[in-house]
């Protein structure tokens, strides 16, 4: 049975509608992994792999950390 969420801004200022949209977006994470028993969604696992690539090359002085450049 679905239960409503109580959303409360505790630190700083934020648009409650935007926060609600962000929370809703997190519910759309893709758990369709091909690994049995994988605890992370595919989207989180992929972003972790991209992060490992970014920090692997110590000689890189400028890189774009935004995830959109690696999809």
Read out DSSP for 23-54?
HHHHTT-----SSTT--S-HHHHHHHHHHHHH
Please give the pLDDT value at position 46. 73
Task: Take residue 3 and report the two structure tokens written for it.
Answer: 């239960």
Task: Give the model confidence (pLDDT) of 15-55 as tens digits.
Answer: 999 988 888 877 766 666 666 666 666 667 777 777 777 77
How confident is the model over 2-25, as a mean pLDDT? 86
Nearest-5° angle of CA 53, CA 58, CA 63?
A: 65
Closest Cα to residue 70, out of 38, 37, 48, 39?
A: 48
- Beta-carbon contacts of residue 61 (< 8 Å; ≥ 6 apart): none
Please give the pLDDT value at position 17. 92
Residue 8 has pLDDT above 70, yes or no: yes
Please give the pLDDT value at position 50. 73
């Amino acid at each position: 049975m679905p239960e409503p969420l109580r959303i409360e801004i505790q630190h700083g200022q934020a648009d409650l509608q935007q926060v609600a949209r962000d929370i809703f977006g997190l519910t759309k994470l893709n758990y369709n992994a091909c690994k049995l028993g994988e605890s992370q969604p595919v989207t989180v696992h992929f972003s972790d792999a991209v992060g490992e690539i970014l920090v692997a090359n110590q000689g890189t002085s400028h890189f774009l950390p935004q995830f959109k450049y690696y999809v």
